Structure formats: C-alpha cells, structure tokens
Structure 1
Amino acid sequence: MTPITLYRHPKSGHCHRVELMMALLGIPYRTVDLDMANGAHKAPDFLRISPFGLVPAIDDGGFTLADSNAILVYLVGTHAPDAGWIPADPKDAAEVQRWLSIAADDIYAGPCAARLVKVFGTDHDHAAAVSRAHRLLSVMEAHLAGRDWLGADRVTIADVAGYSYVAHAPEGGVDLSPYARVRAWIDRIESLPGFVGMARSPIPQLA
C-alpha cells in the first residue's frame, strides 16, 4: 500500500488528529512538515493541494483533501467503513457530527486558541479563550458522566477530533485538574492500540 502523504505542522492539533486517526487505523503514511513561518503553506504547489493554504492536507495516490474533520471521514470511509468509527445508528451518527462541530467551534475557540497564544505567540484574546475552554470542559465533564466516549458507546471519530487540543490544553494555560472525567477520557484514548502522541510544548505557570 502506498503511504498517504500528510502535510502538517508537527505542533498543530488539527494535523495531529489526522495523524492519530491514521495510526489507530494502521494506515501507512509519511509526513511533510511545512515551514509555515516562511510561507510554505502559501506556495503555489501547496495551494493546488489545499486551496486555502491550510494544514493538514493529504495526498492519497493523487486524491488530495484538506480540513482535518473531512480527512477523518475520508480515512474511516476508505479504510475502516464497518468498524464503528462513524456509527450506523442515526442518533449516534448525529451525536458524532455534533462533536465534530464542537471541535471546529468551541474546541478551536477555547483550548486551541489559548494554546496558540502561549505556544505560537498569536494575538488571540487569551483570557477569553481560557474562559471558553473552561465552559467547554465543564460541558464535556457533565457529558462524560456514566459514559466513556463522546459520541457513542465506543470510540468514534468524535473522540479523535476532540483529543489533541483538549489533552494539550495545559500548554495554553488551561488547568485540567478539575475535570476528572475528561482526564480519564484522555487516558482511554492514549491507551488505544496504535496511539501516537503530538509533540509537547512547555506548560506555562498557572496564575
């Protein structure tokens, strides 16, 4: 099987969720780290793969696709369509989709944005991002009462999409210690066969 090429930044949670999915599925892949500080993601050759100049993007034998959640759907559909990563039950499938939307909204605006400030020095409103992260984590903590996974009674792409930025939230100054169920969920994902982690950054001192 020809490896899939993953274009990424090694400290991007969006990229990591794709790499994690491929690792959990046992899909051969190779990574190409883009020098985004020097505009590699805006180069014409890359824009043909990812028209908005965003990572992650993949090239699977000439089929190219950008957007991390879309890539998760593609990977599961082509390599494990019957393994339950996207549930067949309409209610569970809808719940998974809801968490994909949360990954693109609340997770991005909360723990992701807070981490962008501390790790990459962006100009996001850090206090607002931390506040939104704690609102998100409170919802997750309540949601995980009496259940192990976000979208169904087994691990799904919802968990893969949510993991990276939540697990690395302390790098953005977001304390996970009040959220025992969320931390247990993180541990369950990290115990899955094939799990691969994301490069860690220093954790800032919490005020």
Structure 2
Amino acid sequence: MAPGPQTLAPSWFLDCDSEAVCAYASQAGKNNKDPIAIAEDLFYTVRDGIRYDPYQVSRDPEVYRASAIADADSNWCVPKSVLLTACARARGIPARLGFADVLNHLTSDKLSESMGTDLFAWHGYAELWLNERWVKLSTAFNIELCERFNVAALEFDPINGALMHPYDTTGRRHMEYVRERGSYDDLPLEAMLETFDEVYPNMEMSGASNDAAFRE
C-alpha cells in the first residue's frame, strides 16, 4: 500500500519537525537528494551512533520522543527505530514503525534472568518507503556489539531490508521471528507497556507510570 500523508507528518512521538530531530537528520547525506543514499546514511548513523542497551526500558512517554532519543548515547531497539523513522520523515522519506515478537536464542544470562524469558515482545524496526515499496530496517545492534558477540551486523539493503539474522557467524541459532505485530504511524506505547506487564511481570522499568500525557 502506498504511503499516506501521515507517514511524512510529525506526531507526538515522531516529532520530525523538532530542532533536535532535524539537526540529527541533517547529518546524513547533506548534499545528496537521493532518498536511497539519505536512508543509507541515516541507517548507519542510528545503528552505530547509539549503542544498544536493553536495560533502558521506561514507562515515561517523554523518553520515547524522537527529539529526546536524538541526544542519547545508548538505547534499545524501539527508541532507535523511533529516531530512524522520525529522521526519515524529516528528510522527506515516508516512514512508519514496524513491530514483531522475536526469540533471541543467544540472550545473555543476565538479560534472560531480568526478563524471565528469551522472548522479546514488540521488537521495533523502521519501515521506509524506498523503490516504491516498504522496506523494513532494524538498527538495534551497533557494530561493536555485533563484533563482540560474533553476530553479523545488519547492513542497509534498500530492496530486501535489514532484519535480524537467524544465525550468528558461527552457525548458532540467533533471532527467530515468531509474531508480526504490524505497522504503525506513531508509537503504540500503551499497548507495548500492557504487553510488557504481562510477559515480563518481574522486570523493573524506570520512569513515571504510563498515562494519557503522551496523547496531548
């Protein structure tokens, strides 16, 4: 389905018209008008410019705004996807968010114990309109993390997209997509947190309790 005007418009979370997001997005392909080249630069800027940290899950809606994420040194898959999506819109590329549940067969003992499971619900990625089609791009794992854990870093592919690898570089099972949760024009934070409360009842999350503040 071709993109509608909402895939280029600012929203509460995807505040692509904010000064912070515009400044971040301007780093990519400054003198290039080709959307593929801009998207590629944005992909690597977000992938490697923000270190992956799965322990930063919060209930505070403010930390999920793209303008707040732009200042982060580290974050997890959903905020990084929010930032890439907002940056793409800021550069005139239709973009939205995509989500799926994945099993991480190589989850660390520490993270597995914290979550109580190897299932990552609402794994986030960006969907960009490139070459007249929606392309799924995951920027979760930065290059340094991939090298440390023998996982091939995801590379930008404007045709096939870039989703998590099913195996690591040694042939061990890595990521398994088990459920698609669909595409969204803005972050469905309330639904995400409800799922987290069900799937991860013992996981601690920082920040204020979820309420209607982000709808204002």
Q: Same fold (TM over 0.5)?
A: no
Greater relative CO (CA pairs within 8 A, separation 6+): 2
Where is the helix percentage greater, Structure 1 or Structure 2? 1
Normalised TM-score (structure 2): 0.25
